[in-house]
Structure 1
Amino acid sequence: MPTTIEKTAFLKSFGKRIEILRKEKKLSLRQLSQNCDIDYSDISKIEKGLRNIQISTIIELAKGLDTHPQELFNFTIEGKG
């Protein structure tokens, strides 16, 4: 069972990955929000690792970033090497 610290590290690393993909595609939070069915303030919270999201949100983010959902998980967890 993951500890709270491990969950927090995962959420922060996932959020950083979303932010990197968004910036690579030169999208603002509002532009990404318009590309998918997620409010821009929620995307901001996801990028900061403050929001634990559902699979449907992952699918929406992938749609908004025009990428495969698997690509959203292409990251190393901070503090885990």
Structure 2
Amino acid sequence: MLKKTIFLFFLIFISTIKSTYSQCAMCKAVVENGDESMAEGVNNGITYLMVFPYLLVGILFFTIYRYKKRAKI
């Protein structure tokens, strides 16, 4: 059951990657008109903002997993 869920999640994740390649017009304009350090700053900001939702979802799944494992014992 768990392997099927992980596989399904991975399959959905891979199939939605192409749609996440798009970028907002403001970010694109700033990067195109700025220098390399500005582009690096935008990329670092995007990475910083992207990490926290994944951490929260990971913590949620870990908590559910731990709860279910304790319930079996």
Superposition TM-score, scaled by structure 2 size: 0.33
Structure with higher RCO (Cα < 8 A, 6+ apart): 1
Higher helix share: 2
Larger radius of gyration: 2
State TM-score, norm by structure 1.
Answer: 0.30
